[in-house]
Amino acid sequence: MESISGQPDRWPALFALGKLGPPAAAGASPVSELLRDPDWRVRLEAARTLGVLGQPSAIAALVLRLGDPERLVRNEIVRSLGRLGGEVAREALKRALRDQDESVRKAAREQLGEGDH
């Protein structure tokens, strides 16, 4: 993972890591750090990858970034929290119901099992 954080095209590498799924879960902690990357595409792929890797330890990092300035990143964080589950993730999803963007609110409703209410 150290080599990914120093590369200009980090998001394709994160996409590939996410495709590996749970066997690559040892990389979850360094991926969490990329949620703060200046490039929104890197943050989006980091959020997606954390959800695919399925490590509950990633929930805290995802919750902290739920206020990301990019709505696409917030959408992916919501989806990943839904995949990871648990009470902390569920509470964060409830907070996402108040997001400024309708698509994020809709994703939160879907992850909470509330549909399009």
Task: Report domain extents, the chain.
Answer: 2-111
Compute CA 60 distance to the chain's CA centroid, rounded to the nearest angstrom.
Answer: 11
Q: Could you read off the pLDDT of 13-68 as tens digits, one per residue?
A: 555 555 555 544 444 578 899 999 999 999 999 999 999 988 888 999 999 999 99
Buried b (16+ CB within 10 A) or exposed e, 34-69: bbebeeebbbbbbbbbbbbbebeebbebbbebbebe
Q: What pLDDT does residue 14 have? A: 58
* Token duo for residue 110: 């879907």
**Distance (Å, rounded) from C-alpha 6 to C-alpha 31?**
12
CATH 2.60.40.1180 fits 2-111, yes or no: no
Mean pLDDT over the full length of the chain: 84
Judge whether residue 1 has pLDDT over 60. no
Compute CA 11 distance to the chain's CA centroid, rounded to the nearest angstrom.
Answer: 13
- φ/ψ region of 104 (left if φ > 0, alpha if ψ in -120 to 50, else beta) reads alpha
Q: What pLDDT does residue 27 have? A: 47
Judge whether residue 79 has pLDDT over 60. yes
